[in-house]
Amino acid sequence: MISMILGLVTLVTTAIPSDTVDVDTTATGPDPLDSLAWLTGCWAPERGEPGSIEQWLAPAGGTMLGVSRTVRGGETRVHEFMQLRTDAEGRFVFIAYPSGQEETTFVLEELAEDFATFGNPGHDFPQTITYRSLSPESMRVRIEGIVNDGLRSVEFPFVRIPCSDPSIE
């Protein structure tokens, strides 16, 4: 997850809308993948170098699979594989496999039509990850947690791009 921090701007904490609800993290209600289907497709960081991308496959078989790549100086510097799914304990989770790091699981904490927050209080950084749709063409990913006894948050602005865009190849 540290790899996502490089080259991005730290922002102040934003308020969560009042229509937010806490989520029972066991798989007993509506499928959270239905609320997250808006992630499907290709997303480029607003200030990223060509070739930097986050791509999500459409929900199928109870999962959404994602991959990200950060390019700097014309070279891939970091990558990450991601899963959204229900785990063996019945919790809906975000699983991250960042380059050079161990797999980390974050459990769904809050879910709304336009955002989801996942948390893992035992992880070094981040402890929370929020995906928020701002429009059909833009989203923000926010990671935050406690670092050296202080709250640190980093926000990643993305714009939707065609998956056939030659700048991502």
CATH number at residue 56: 2.40.128.20
pTM: 0.81
In-domain check, residue 21: no
Number of domain units in the chain: 1
Is pLDDT above 90 for 39?
yes
60: which strand partners?
Answer: 63
In-domain check, residue 164: no
For residue 149, the model assigns a pLDDT of: 86
Q: Which residue has the tokens 């791009």?
A: 161
Domain assignment of residue 154, given as a range:
2-14+26-159
Distance of CA 125 to the CA centre of its chain: 14
In-domain check, residue 154: yes
C-alpha 59/C-alpha 37 separation (Å) is 6
In-domain check, residue 169: no
Is pLDDT above 60 for 135?
yes
Mean pLDDT of 44-62: 95
In-domain check, residue 155: yes
Residue 159, CA distances (Å) to 26, 71, 127, 140 in order? 31, 16, 24, 9
110: which strand partners?
Answer: 22, 117
For residue 29, the model assigns a pLDDT of: 61
